[in-house]
Amino acid sequence: MRIGELSKRTGVSSRSLRYYEEQGLLTSSRSEAGQRHYSDAAVQRVSLIRQLFDAGMSSRVIATVLPCVDIPGDLGVAEETFTAMTRERDRIDADIAHLIETRAALDVLIAANSRHRAKLSAAPEPATRSA
């Protein structure tokens, strides 16, 4: 199938499909006219790539993980994939920890602002001067 059909069947833009190819995540053959042609298996491949992107993985990490799908019986590939996935999970855990710290700091500021607003609303309004 050509790139337009793959795009329609997967809901992924042609631009993204070309990017996947540039990153080595997806392959196609070329016609004599230079048009990309994809196998039917490309639909599942694109679906998997989208799932990995949705899980927060970068194209670099996805390129490390995909060989496990392509060569499922290779222990070395499985080990590399495991390492890549656990490293990615550790990165996400660190991001979560940072977000929790940031939220806690924001909570302190919100509490301080709430106290300040309460003081302002309880204070008498300053008298206005006549001109």
pLDDT in tens, 49-99: 999 999 888 999 999 889 888 888 889 989 998 998 899 899 999 999 999
The number of domains in the chain is 1
According to the model, what pLDDT value does residue 56 have?
85
Q: What is the span of the domain harbouring residue 81?
A: 3-119
In-domain check, residue 125: no
φ, ψ for residue 29, nearest 5 deg: -105, 165
| CATH number of the domain to which 104 belongs | 1.10.1660.10
* Mean pLDDT across 15-22: 96
